[in-house]
Structure 1
Amino acid sequence: MNDHFLQRQQLIKQKMAQQNLSAFLVLGHENIRYLTGFSGNAAYALITDCAHVLITDYRYFERAQNECQGFEVISRDRDNETLGRCIARFLGINSQLGFDAAFINVALWQQVAADLHAHTLIPIQGLVESLRMIKNDWEVTQIKAAAAIADQALAQTLPFFKEGVTERELALELEFRMQRLGSEGMSFATILMFAERTSLPHGSPSSRALNIGDAITLDFGAVINGYRSDMTRSYVLGEASTKQRTMYNTVANAQQTAINLLKPGINCIELQHAAQKVLDDSGYGAFSGQGLGHGLGLFLHEQPFINSHCGHVLEAGNVITIEPGIYIPDFGGVRLEEDILITATGFDVLTHAPKPFELEP
């Protein structure tokens, strides 16, 4: 078994002991992959003092056997055994069973809970996620590889940013190039908008055609071994207006202000406030987003979150995004985003695509 899976399983058992749990049911796909190595879905991981069990069905059984590290794989007959009864096979008497509460719907949990009425069921949030915040060298290598693919795919796609091309055409071109370069898929649905539509922080590509003078916002990422990249660039086709240039410079200054503060020991709230002050002083603060960034890894948005409520103190091994933005309805928006590793002495920016604001038409 790979050492990092063994270490993770030992650490999660320590956390279970701290919360007096005799068993823990892991439901989030990313959490399951982190602990077991299984990359599919339709699976549930159960950890007890005596057993590590991955419950799946015939569709994923062989795949799970090949991928799982340190877990026995069980193929449940869904027609003849409910999930709750399958789980109960591995529990002791009146177990204190914690479960990944953020990753199960009410209807399914009611069915499971009915079968486990003899046990104490305890909703748990953040148990695995707290471990996932610190990336080891192997994890960082995967994120760097995903970021490098995104950088290269963007460089290959920029020549297609010409008058008349549509948002959807450019998004498809970029996605094709990322996958041809080795990405397992999209880190998330590509965000690509022109002109006034750039005021939509998470808009979807449409048939809108690109015109000279239009703003462009592009937010996208690649995936390697489940680990994601996440990068945003903003452009103008041709010469930018004074207002467009001012917005861009403001966002760039807010981003760099936060990046300059990055190091172990800095509080996420302090980062948020520093960037927000730049936006507020510019007069565009009312049009900025509420958060500055987020953790990045197996899940696109994971701990730590960089906003005015998350008091997490950055540690070496955190991988985060810094992505301030300005969004003015019926005019347009600007966002810039980098993926950044916190190191023992400071930080390392993982996304390297250039940021020219004006593109030649």
Structure 2
Amino acid sequence: MLLPLFDSGITQMQARYHQRQQRLLSVLKEQDIHNLLVFNYENILYLTGYSGNAAYLIVSAEGLWLITDYRYFERAKSESFGCALICRDRDSESLGACIKRLLPAGKTGFESNAINYGMWLSIANELVNTDVAAFDGSIEKLRMVKDDFEIASIKKAAAIADLALADLLTQVSKGVTELDLATELDFKMKKLGSDGISFDTILLFAERSALPHGKPGDKKLNHGDLLLVDFGAVVNGYRSDMTRTYVYGEPNKQQQQMYDAVLASQSKSLQSLKAGVDCQQLNQISLDVLAQSGFAQYAGKGLGHGVGLALHEVPFINPVTDYRLEVGNIITIEPGVYIPDFGGIRIEDDVLITESGFEFLTHAPKTFVIN
């Protein structure tokens, strides 16, 4: 059951999850939904603190139930807050039967985007007499505005990434492969205290830097090559996300023009960054700068995205997102230009929207030329 906030023995951690759960229950009440079946990993972590796998959460006005099995039950006991723990015997009880046994009466929503069709059919077959409907995005909207714990975690993840990149740049040399450097970067972040990597590190040379989400391979670095690195660290489940692009040696004219255009695009966008700015307007500011430079046709789609427990989360900074930035949003600003068979430039920073404007969370220098 939910913990009462007035309990003098409540910890700061318990209060954090209690407040998140109460906010969600208020949303459900407004939508006339009594229960919500939560399947998304990040949403379960956000609401309960449990960071393991094989978990399913029932949120109800009558309480919260976290369902797992013997493999994760003790871990859930040590990590979760504000919910009853259910250790399901997978051999004797299906997930659907377990949910049916626990689910209070009333209209029930479920996260349709976070469960595969076959698994949902097996659950739905047990809930044939329950009023069930898809209900997506409610928790993700709550996650858009970060609290102090979330901000501190992402700041630490970003600081780890800054330090790891500084170390990596001392190892750049002619003949090193993309995979060599990517592996070193991942290792360094973990040595510095990262829980893992925020996503599969993107580290690409020369014409391969035009692949926005390319995979590091055995290509070797030569003088005059572009070097794009997009990566992040993880602290308490919260991710950082930063991109820097370099040229190894002296840039040619087109490389320099591309870099100058992307840097100008990011700088202009940042000048307009504050609470109340429309995401569509912000995206257009970036595109206008790239259009003036002649690179608009090679621009990436969208200026940035929210970042937190998931790498890409709302709000998205693109031509279709109808949202005005709020204090507490953490977003990326990452314009890019990608010319096939030539190369790509992307510059990306994590920023926190504040009362006075914004704060950089990533601080690595934006030096273009490295030797």
Interval containing the TM-score (normalised by the shorter chain): over 0.9
Q: Which amino acid aligns with 2:40?
A: G
SS in 2 for 1:304: strand
Q: Which amino acid aligns with 1:263?
A: K
Report what 1:37 is aligned to. 49
Specify which of 97, 110, 113 is matched with residue 108 of structure 2.
Answer: 97
How far does residue 279 in structure 1 lie from its aligned partner after superposition? 0.8
Distance 1:48 1:88 in 2: 13
Report what 1:202 is aligned to. 213
SS in 2 for 1:333: strand
Q: Which amino acid aligns with 1:26?
A: V
Indicate whether 1:247 and 2:255 are aligned: no
CA deviation profile, 1:98-150 (whole Å, cap 9, x unmatched): 01111000010011000111101110111100100000111100000000000
Distance 2:77 2:220 in 1: 48
Q: Which amino acid aligns with 2:196?
A: G
Distance 1:163 1:124 in 2: 53
How far does residue 91 in structure 1 lie from its aligned partner after superposition? 2.2
8 Å contact 2:50–2:80 — kept in the other structure? yes
8 Å contact 1:163–1:209 — kept in the other structure? yes
Indicate whether 1:10 and 2:22 are aligned: yes
Counting matched residue pairs gives 359
CA deviation profile, 1:212-269 (whole Å, cap 9, x unmatched): 0000100000000000000000000000001000000000000011111111100000
Indicate whether 1:126 and 2:104 are aligned: no
CA deviation profile, 1:127-185 (whole Å, cap 9, x unmatched): 10010000011110000000000000001110111100000000000111000000000
Specify which of 168, 180, 198 is matched with residue 179 of structure 2.
Answer: 168
For structure 2, the residue ranges without an aligned partner over 5 or more in a row are 1-10
Distance 1:151 1:92 in 2: 48
Indicate whether 1:116 and 2:127 are aligned: yes
Distance 1:268 1:48 in 2: 33
Report what 1:343 is aligned to. 354
SS in 2 for 1:246: helix
CA deviation profile, 1:38-66 (whole Å, cap 9, x unmatched): 01111001011212100001111000011
Q: Identity over the aligned pairs, expressed in percent? A: 51
**Once structures 1 and 2 are overlaid, which stretch shifts more, 48-57 or 240-249?**
48-57
8 Å contact 2:158–2:233 — kept in the other structure? yes
Report what 1:312 is aligned to. 323
8 Å contact 2:251–2:369 — kept in the other structure? yes
How far does residue 311 in structure 1 lie from its aligned partner after superposition? 1.4
8 Å contact 1:317–1:342 — kept in the other structure? yes
Q: Which amino acid aligns with 1:65?
A: K
CA deviation profile, 1:279-336 (whole Å, cap 9, x unmatched): 1111110101111000010000000000000011000000000000000000000000
Distance 1:48 1:196 in 2: 53
Distance 2:40 2:103 in 1: 20
Q: Which amino acid aligns with 1:48?
A: S
Distance 1:189 1:257 in 2: 29
Aligned residue runs from structure 1 range 201-280, under 5 A: 201-280=212-291
Report what 2:34 is aligned to. 22
How far does residue 3 in structure 1 lie from its aligned partner after superposition? 1.3
Report what 1:293 is aligned to. 304
Aligned residue runs from structure 1 range 29-108, under 5 A: 29-93=41-105, 95-108=106-119
8 Å contact 1:167–1:192 — kept in the other structure? yes
Distance 1:348 1:319 in 2: 9
What is the root-mean-square deviation of aligned Cα atoms in Å? 0.7
Report what 1:154 is aligned to. 165
**Structure 1 outlier segments of 4+, above 6 Å:** none
8 Å contact 2:265–2:290 — kept in the other structure? yes
8 Å contact 1:51–1:90 — kept in the other structure? no
TM-score when normalising by structure 2:
0.96
How far does residue 344 in structure 1 lie from its aligned partner after superposition? 1.0
TM-score when normalising by structure 1:
0.98
Report what 2:4 is aligned to. none
